[in-house]
Amino acid sequence: MSASAAGHRRTVLEMQGVDKTFGGDVEALRAMSLTVNDGDFISLLGPSGCGKSTALRLIAGLSEPSGGRIVWEGGHEIGDLGVVFQEPTLMPWATVADNVWLPFRLRGHSYNEVRDRVLEALKLVGLERFQKSYPRELSGGMKMRVSIARAMVTNPRIILMDEPFAALDEITRFKLNDDLLMLKDRIRCTVIFVTHSVFESVFMSDRIVVMAARPGRVVRELSVDAPYPRTEEFRTSAEYAALCRSASEALREAMGEHA
Amino acid sequence: MTISDPTRAAQATPALTLDAEDRARIRRRKLERTGAWALPVGLLALFVLGWDWLVVANGIPHFILPRPGLVASTLVNDWPMLSSALLITMQITMMALAVAVIGGVGLAVLFTQSRLVEMSLYPYAVILQVTPIIAIAPLIFVYVDSHIVGLLICAWLVAFFPVLSNTTLGLNSADHNLQDMFRIYGATRWQTLRYLRLPTALPYFLGGLRIAGTLALIGAVVAEYVAGTGGTGAGLAFRILEASYRLNVPRMFAALILIAVTGVVIFVVLSFISHLLLRKWHESAIKREA
């Protein structure tokens, strides 16, 4: 079950045998290799402690690998990466528009220069009416949308998402899952999505990387060949149920190795 | 759509009928709003009446305890002298507060930029703070010739620590995920300070500022007691001291009232500034419905 669907796509980023140890004895990640192709929606699925968040931080450049390499095809610059954390991570003193402006602001662009792009991003997440609101005036799901808008605003090649919807209620999460797929289709970016939900990973991704803990490592990769756009119909289909079952099995195997 | 419009929801509320609990809550809120000013004012009136009665009933001479009316008329008659003294005290307080803000915030920023500086200087900042100003003040006036500068140093010494410690705490409280976000977007040290650490520190700083404002007044008054010089540069504390030598108790009361009022005004003004700066986003400045 390799990523056959991704065969014809260009490579964006490659993790080559990446290790990460903390304090010399905690092995957070061992020999992780992953080829990220243009347009992939990759889920990193695994129990806590399997190094999925560590992998994300390494790709984001927030920490350095202890061994191995992470290579961006053709190099990369700052705007090539967008990140959405588990928390919305908005600046409470800044309006919604100012929060989305941040990536540009840090590169010295005035608001007027980039206003159209900021508003465009807000429109994509359905919040253009709230550009002048402050984060505290928004619901949890809306804050997450602002966070997504900020991650997309620079037109990044890769968006990293670290369990972005874990703290939301199920109804909001389903809605955001749908909207995220629609957005990805619209802006044609690559997504690496960390989750511990089998259902979420199957619904969202075309590649599922199953990881295990102690040491954190990749144990299997599944591909989900169902075509996009995926809708509510897919969520109730037999195909979806079968995929969930095999992903669950893979995950159980991954956890069983050390249970 | 999961998006709900909070403004519309708020407008819709009054149209609903109020139940008994709501009515009780509204009544209670009204009562609290009136009580907040009516009760202290009533208490003050009772206190002044009781004071007056005490003096008259016991035939206490005015150089021991003056009647409230006499204090009021002293306040009016001595206004030229008291007002210039008030001006001096206010000037010292404000200048000391300004220097405390500049020094406190400046040092706090320096602390967060360099651990070495913080490790070296912080213990001394604490020592300065825990040593009572009244014990340091005489020394300061030994070494500093200028009366005004001496007062300023004393007031500053008392006022700057709350600004320093609160601002340092605030600057170090920046959200870790936001710090990561800033790193990912390649923010410079200066940008992180300007756009992340300083806004995070603002509510903490304003809390320190409110304390510092009243402390600066205390510092100015204490220092003047120690300095004890009169003449053109005499502030309210010196006027109290001078009046006590002359057994002019009504003037002592009048000057005391002015100091108390000044302290309250400083506190209220700083609280108002704080409210203006935070009302849009900070939890402390936001009224909750229900």
Sequence ranges of the domains in chain B = 19-58, 68-285
- SS3 of B213, please? helix
**If 0-12 CB within 10 Å is exposed, 13-18 middle and 19+ buried, where does residue B35 land?**
exposed
Residue window 187-216, chain B: list those with CB within 8 Å of chain A.
187, 191, 195-196, 199, 202
Confidence band (pLDDT; 50, 70, 90) for B20? confident
Number of domains in chain A: 1
- Give the C-alpha separation, A211 to B224, whole Å: 71
Tell me what pLDDT residue A8 has.
65
Contact call for B178 and A89, based on CB within 8 A:
yes
Give B198's pLDDT tier (boundaries 50, 70, 90).
very high
Predicted confidence band of residue A41 (pLDDT cuts 50, 70, 90): very high
The helix/strand/coil state of A48 is coil
Residues 271-290 of B with CB under 8 A from A: 280-283, 286
pLDDT confidence band for A122 (50 / 70 / 90): very high
Could you give the CA distance from residue A206 to residue A228 in angstroms, rounded to a whole number? 9
Distance (Å) from the alpha carbon of A68 to chain B's nearest alpha carbon = 21
Look at A93 and B2 and tell me if their CB atoms are within 8 Å. Answer: no
Nearest to A102 by CA among A61, A55, A135: A135
CATH of the domain at A239: 3.40.50.300
CB A191 within 8 A of CB A156: no
Q: Which residue of A has its CA nearest to B193?
A: A106
Give the closest residue to A31 by CA, choosing from A17, A20, A44, A21.
A17
Q: With respect to residue A91, please indicate whether it lies within any of the assigned structural domains.
A: no
What would the two tokens of residue A213 be? 């803990």
| Interchain pair A91, B6: CB under 8 A | no
Kindly report, residue by residue over A209-258, the tens digit of the pLDDT.
999 988 889 999 999 988 888 888 888 899 999 999 999 999 888 887 55
| A240 in any annotated domain | yes
Residue contact B185–A91, C-beta within 8 A? no
Please check the confidence at residue B4 and state whether its pLDDT lies above 70.
no
At B288, is the pLDDT very low, low, confident or very high (cuts 50, 70, 90)? low
The sheet carrying A41-45 orders its strands as: A81-84, A158-162, A190-195, A41-45, A207-212, A217-223
ipTM value, please give it: 0.91
CB-based contact A83 B184, cutoff 8 Å: yes
Q: Which residues span the domain enclosing A241?
A: 1-76+158-170+189-259
> Nearest-CA distance from B110 to chain A in Å?
22
Query: CATH topology for B68-285?
Result: MetI-like fold (1.10.3720)
- Please determine, for residue B191, whether its predicted confidence score (pLDDT) is greater than 50: yes
Tell whether the model's pLDDT for residue A259 goes beyond 50.
Answer: no
pLDDT score recorded for residue A186: 86
Cα A129 from Cα B52, distance rounded (Å): 63
In this predicted structure, the answer to whether residue B99 has a pLDDT above a threshold of 90 is yes
**A5 by DSSP, 3-state: which?**
helix
Residues in chain A closer than 8 A to B286 (CB atoms) = 136
Is the CB of B184 less than 8 angstroms away from the CB of A137?
no
Q: Is residue A208 part of a domain?
A: yes
**Stronger pLDDT, A258 or A111, i.e. the higher one:** A111
Cβ contacts of B100 within 8 Å, gap of 6 or more: B155, B156, B159, B160, B163, B212, B216
Q: Given a cut of 80, is residue B181 above it in pLDDT?
A: yes
DSSP string, A150-218: HHHTT--SEEEEESTTTTS-HHHHHHHHHHHHHHHHHHT-EEEEEES-HHHHHHH-SEEEEEETTTTEE
Contact B180 A92 (CB under 8 A): no
Cα–Cα distance for residue pair B138/B134, rounded to 1 Å = 7
